[in-house]
Amino acid sequence: MDPGPSRTPAPHVAPHFAGAGMARRGSRGGGAVALARTHSHKDLHDADVSHADGEFGAVSRSHRQDHAWLHGQLERTHSRTSSRRAPRSEARPVPPPAGGTGEKAAHEAHVEAAHEAGDSASAASTRAADVEKGAPPDDASSDESHDPDLVSWDGPDDPHNPRNWSLHRRWAVIGIVSSYTFLSPLSSSMIAPALPLIAEELDIRSSVTQSMTLSVFVLAYAIGPLFLAPLSEMWGRKAVLQLSNLFFIVFTIACAVAPSSASLIAFRFLAGLGGSAPLVIGGGVVGDLMSPDERGTAMSVYSLAPLTGPSIGPIIGGWVVQGLNSWRISFWITLALSGATALVGIFILPETYAPRILADKTKRLRKETGNAKLHTIFMREDEGWRRRMARNLVRPFILIGTQPVIQLLASFFCIVYGTMYLLLTTWSSTFVDVYGESVGIASLNYLSLAIGFTLGGQIGGRAVDRIYHRLKKRNGGEGKPEYKLPLMMFTGWMGPAGLLLYGWSAQYRVHWIVPNLGGVLFSAGMLCVFNPMQNYIVDSYSIYAASAISAVAFLRSLAGFGFPLFAPSMFGGLGLGWGCSVLALALAVVGLPAPFLLFRYGERIRGASQYCAAPQG
């Protein structure tokens, strides 16, 4: 039996700015006292595992360069704290962990110093809430007493820490989560080639209602993350992922047997709610498992699943319609794939969220030792889960209403994402009606979109990091979020150009390869602007990045739902050429000047925001 709780270093956390407490700094010459932000352990951990958009896998690999700077700030803060204290015992040296990285050693040294200083996570959390509300924080001093009841990892090589699992096991977990993330977007678009068949069987006469059977799934992507993300932070990744997947499976069955258009639309929405969980949680799982040095490659691989799913789905659906003349079989195929994945996940998918793992450890130790005071750093908060969820639900809307950066980028996101789903809805019908292809052959044209998504996602992500490192080096080693934007300046033309090439070549019946090249250009350009925008949001809003991304994701998913509804009327009235020209103009008007404006004025805008981080080091 374990004689007591562990006092070894806390779980690895990534250092990003957060309003999680305050420390005073005297200005030179005895001037006014300035307030500077410090960070609770929980804030830093939440920032680390939340900085990813599950759907596009956008996370900055350059964050690892910022760790040393912030750890230096934290160590200096603890040094000032220690210098004000009467020495009670000789400081213990902190040996570097065997086989660990310099970043990990610095973190563990910081955590050991934090244990010696006895900093209060609950007080820091309370001060963070005050900062977020705009209230001036109190200069509360940290708790000077050592906490003997703090439960943490059993050393830097604790096998229960997800980042210490074998590489094979971690990639197996990423593989199963990627499968979850692949199947949901696959289902979202699989019925696109079957829309005429669905309309005929269910007597759908309105083109809007017909399009809604497809796009209502994306509407659920706007709603689900608002409550599923907070639930995963309270109950863990595993429970939310598996229960959501079960929810998705149940309503996929309901879609397969839907007797009417109204029931099909309702069941598709509910299935989308369950399917949205991997999109919002998957990036967090990658953050749980991989250190910043490993995360770039892992995120690039993980991001392939949600990018290719919407393009492969219509190919399967097209051949099902052509070969079997049935749209219901598409849902049974989704059910078979999801059921098999869920069965494998039961045996392979463990809990990866450190606060949940440590909470279970604390519960076991309380039972073994009879010490009810045992706790983790994540439990030292007075805020209940209802209040926390309410705050998480409200913050994205506050950001939408108050942050110019969010408003500008969200407008661009809406046009790009809405146009993508508009094309997914009409892509197959273009090649059937204009080029006279069969439904199965026409569905193969979705491969051009899949190729563009893959090229843009993989090449664009690496280009963002290279450009950032080069500009950071030129700036004396100090990075800025604006250094993530130049790729948008160079590739912003690709989306509008791809739309024009697709629309006008299809209208004039140019060889079928030409509109497909337009699709490749559009989809590659889409990812080349998505990656910089996502990284810019993460770097700018740091500890509130999850809320900022949720705000943008909410608006873009609404656009993904709404744009396909007017697609038939727009293309019917304007034709493919002029219809795509209107979309291209909207993309150009918002997208072309946006990176230049943010590059020039972004730092000034961020400086006026209480939610934005300080410049990176």
Q: Which residue has the higher pLDDT, 166 or 69?
A: 166
What is d(CA 134, CA 318) in angstroms, rounded to the nearest whole number? 54
For the beta carbon of residue 525, count every other beta carbon within 10 angstroms. 26
Tokens coding 130: 């005050």
CATH, range 165-349? 1.20.1250.20
* Interval 559-590: pLDDT, tens: 888 888 888 888 888 889 999 999 999 999 98
What is d(CA 496, CA 443) in angstroms, rounded to the nearest whole number? 23
pLDDT surpasses 50 at 11: no
Lowest mean pLDDT among 367-371, 478-482, 501-505, 579-583: 478-482
For the beta carbon of residue 395, count every other beta carbon within 10 angstroms. 18
Q: Which strand (E) or helix (H) includes residue 34?
A: strand 33-37
Single-letter amino acid code for the residue at 407: Q
What is d(CA 119, CA 121) in angstroms, rounded to the nearest whole number? 6
What is d(CA 448, CA 522) in angstroms, rounded to the nearest whole number? 10
Q: How far is CA 464 from the centre of its chain?
A: 17
What is d(CA 342, CA 238) in angstroms, rounded to the nearest whole number? 12
- Contact of 353 with 236, CB cutoff 8 Å: yes
Q: Which of 399, 422, 421, 394 is nearest to 409 (CA)?
A: 399
What Å distances lie between residue 191 and 383, 415, 426, CA to CA? 44, 23, 12
Lowest mean pLDDT among 268-282, 434-448, 523-537, 590-604: 523-537
At residue 58, the 3 state secondary structure works out as strand
* Interval 102-148: pLDDT, tens: 433 443 443 343 333 333 333 433 333 343 334 433 443 344 347 78
pLDDT surpasses 50 at 246: yes
What is d(CA 526, CA 452) in angstroms, rounded to the nearest whole number? 9
Rg (CA), the chain: 25
Beta-bridge mates of residue 25: 34
In 20-90, where does DSSP find H-type helix?
Answer: 41-50, 64-83
Question: pLDDT value at position 120?
Answer: 38
355 φ, ψ (degrees, to nearest 5): -60, -35
130 φ, ψ (degrees, to nearest 5): -65, -40
Question: What letter does residue 15 receive in the DSSP assignment?
Answer: -
Q: How many residues does the chain have?
A: 617
Q: Which residue has the higher pLDDT, 270 or 122?
A: 270
* Interval 279-295: pLDDT, tens: 878 877 887 888 755 66
For the beta carbon of residue 46, count every other beta carbon within 10 angstroms. 24
299-302: long-range contacts, CB 8 A cutoff, minimum separation 24: 299/52, 299/57, 299/58, 299/59, 299/61, 299/461, 300/57, 300/457, 300/458, 300/461, 300/462, 301/174, 301/178, 302/57, 302/174, 302/177, 302/178, 302/181
* Interval 385-406: pLDDT, tens: 677 777 767 878 888 888 888 8
What is d(CA 421, CA 559) in angstroms, rounded to the nearest whole number? 9
Mean pLDDT of 244-271: 93
* Interval 25-59: pLDDT, tens: 333 444 433 333 444 445 545 544 444 554 554 44
Residue 82: which pLDDT band, with cuts at 50, 70 and 90?
very low
Q: Which strand (E) or helix (H) includes residue 412?
A: helix 404-433
Tabulate helix, strand, coil % of the chain (nearest 5).
75, 0, 25
Model confidence, pTM: 0.69
Residue 504: which pLDDT band, with cuts at 50, 70 and 90?
very high
pLDDT surpasses 80 at 248: yes
- Contact of 198 with 204, CB cutoff 8 Å: yes
pLDDT surpasses 70 at 23: no
Residues of the chain within CATH 1.20.1250.20 domain(s) are 165-349, 395-617
Four-way CATH pick for 395-617: 3.40.50.1820, 3.40.605.10, 1.10.3720.10, 1.20.1250.20: 1.20.1250.20
Q: Which residue has the higher pLDDT, 504 or 467?
A: 504
Residue 57 region by backbone torsions, left for phi larger than 0, else alpha for psi between -120 and 50, else beta: left
Tokens coding 518: 């337009």
Tokens coding 530: 């998505």
Question: pLDDT value at position 258?
Answer: 92
Mean pLDDT of 579-602: 90
Beta-bridge mates of residue 53: 58
What is d(CA 51, CA 218) in angstroms, rounded to the nearest whole number? 22
| Opening angle at CA 131, ends 125 and 132, nearest 5 | 90
- Contact of 505 with 580, CB cutoff 8 Å: no
At residue 25, the 3 state secondary structure works out as strand
